Structure 1
Amino acid sequence: MPELFHRKLERSAIGFVLAIIAVASVGGIVEIAPLFTIDETVEEAPDMRVYTPLELAGRNIYIREGCYACHSQMVRTLRDEVERYGPYSLAVESKYDHPMLWGSKRTGPDLARVGGKYSDFGMSRILSPREVVPESNMPAYRWLARNSLKIEDLPLHLEAQRAIGVPYSEEMIENATRDAYGQASPGSDSASNVKERYGAETQVRAFDGVATNVTEMDALVAYLQVLGRLTDAAFEDTAAPEEPPEPIE
Structure 2
Amino acid sequence: MFGYHYRLERKAIGLVLAIIGVASIGGIVEIAPLFTIHQTVEKAPDMRLYTPLELAGRNIYIREGCYACHSQMIRTLRDEVERYGPYSLAVESKYDHPMLWGSKRTGPDLARLGEKYSDAWHVIHLKNPRDVVPESVMPAYAWLARNELKTSDLGAHLKAQRAVGVPYTDAMIANAAVDAYGQATPDSPGAEGVAERYGKATTVRVFDGEPERLTEMDALVSYLQILGRLTDAAHKPVTAAKD
Deviates more, 1:73-82 or 1:32-41: 32-41
Pairwise mapping of residues 112-127 of structure 1 onto structure 2 (< 5 A)? 112-127=111-126
Q: In the alignment, residue 167 of structure 1 is paired with which amino acid?
A: P
Distance in 1 (alpha carbons) for counterparts of 2:145 and 2:181 = 15
Q: How far has the Cα of 1:136 moved from its partner?
A: 1.6
TM-score (norm 1): 0.93
Q: Which runs of structure 2 are paired with 1:53-132 in the superposition (5 Å)?
A: 53-127=52-126, 128-132=128-132
SS at match of 1:15: helix
- What corresponds to 2:138 in structure 1? 138
- In structure 2, the gaps of 5 or more residues are 239-243
Q: Where does residue 223 of structure 2 map in the other structure? A: 223
Tell me the residue number matched to 1:246: none
What amino acid does structure 2 have at the position aligned with 1:138?
M
Mark the structure with the bigger radius of gyration. Answer: 1
Q: How many residues align?
A: 237
Instruction: Show the counterpart of 2:188.
Output: 188
**Distance in 1 between residues matched to 2:39 and 2:206, nearest whole Å:** 40
Query: Can you list the C-alpha shifts for 1:191-215, whole angstroms capped at 9, x where unaligned?
Result: 0110111011100011001100100
Residue in 2 that maps onto 1:44: 43
Query: Structure 1 stretches of 5 or more lacking a match?
Result: 239-249
Give the secondary structure class of the aligned counterpart of 2:171.
helix
What secondary structure is seen at the aligned counterpart in 2 of 1:87?
Answer: coil
Alignment correspondent of 2:241: none
Moved more, 205-214 or 9-18: 9-18
3-state DSSP of counterpart to 2:236? helix
Deviates more, 1:167-176 or 1:28-37: 28-37
Question: 2:175 is matched with which residue?
Answer: 175
Structure 1 runs of 4+ aligned residues shifted over 4 Å read none
For 2:64, the aligned partner's letter is: E
Distance in 2 between residues matched to 1:10 and 1:126, nearest whole Å: 60
Deviations 1:132-180 (A, max 9, x none): 2333211000000000000011000000000000000001000000000
Q: CA RMSD in A?
A: 0.9
Q: Which amino acid aligns with 2:173?
A: I
CA drift of 1:32 comes to: 1.1
- The answer to whether the aligner puts 1:200 opposite 2:200 as a matched pair is yes
- Separation in structure 1 between the aligned mates of residue 124 and residue 34 of structure 2, nearest angstrom: 41
Given residue 218 of structure 1, which amino acid in structure 2 is its aligned partner?
A: D
Q: Which residue of 2 aligns with 1:232?
A: 232
> Partners in 2 of 1:58 and 1:210 — Cα distance?
17
Give the Cα separation in 2 of the matches to 1:165 and 1:80: 35
Please state how far the C-alpha of 1:13 moved relative to its aligned partner: 1.0
Q: Give SS of 2:8's match.
A: helix
